[in-house]
Amino acid sequence: MKIRRDLSGDELVQALCRNWNYHIIHQEGSHVVLETEEPTHQRLVVPAHRTLRIGTLVAIIRAVADHKQVERQVIVKSL
């Protein structure tokens, strides 16, 4: 699984909203709070930084994949 290392927080937010039915609740400083109701309720906090650290990105991808019950590679391909 190859993950883009130059992905920004804003790009990740847009991809999650477009492809995985998340929507923006609000932003506090440099952190965007996302929420989904499918299949159940989940909230995510995504840092709106120019480039996300790889550990942060992997943790967010893991949380989305576990919640949506899909493989992590499916999430990565949609970014």
Tens place of pLDDT per residue across the chain (79 aa): 788 889 999 999 999 999 999 999 999 999 999 999 989 999 999 999 999 999 999 999 999 999 999 999 999 998 8
CATH number at residue 55: 3.30.160
3-state DSSP assignment of residue 5: coil
Task: Please count the other Cβ atoms lying within 10 Å of the Cβ belonging to residue 79.
Answer: 15
Q: Which pLDDT score is estimated for 3?
A: 85
Residue 14 belongs to some domain of the structure:
yes
Closest CA to 57 of 71, 36, 76, 30: 76
Task: Please count the other Cβ atoms lying within 10 Å of the Cβ belonging to residue 57.
Answer: 21
Residue 4 belongs to some domain of the structure:
no
Range of the domain at 71: 9-77
CA 42, CA 36: separation in Å to the nearest integer? Answer: 5
pTM listed for this prediction: 0.90
Number of domains in the chain: 1
Residue 62 belongs to some domain of the structure:
yes
Residue 3 belongs to some domain of the structure:
no
Distances (CA, A) of 58 to 24, 25, 51, 65: 20, 22, 13, 10
Residue 2 belongs to some domain of the structure:
no
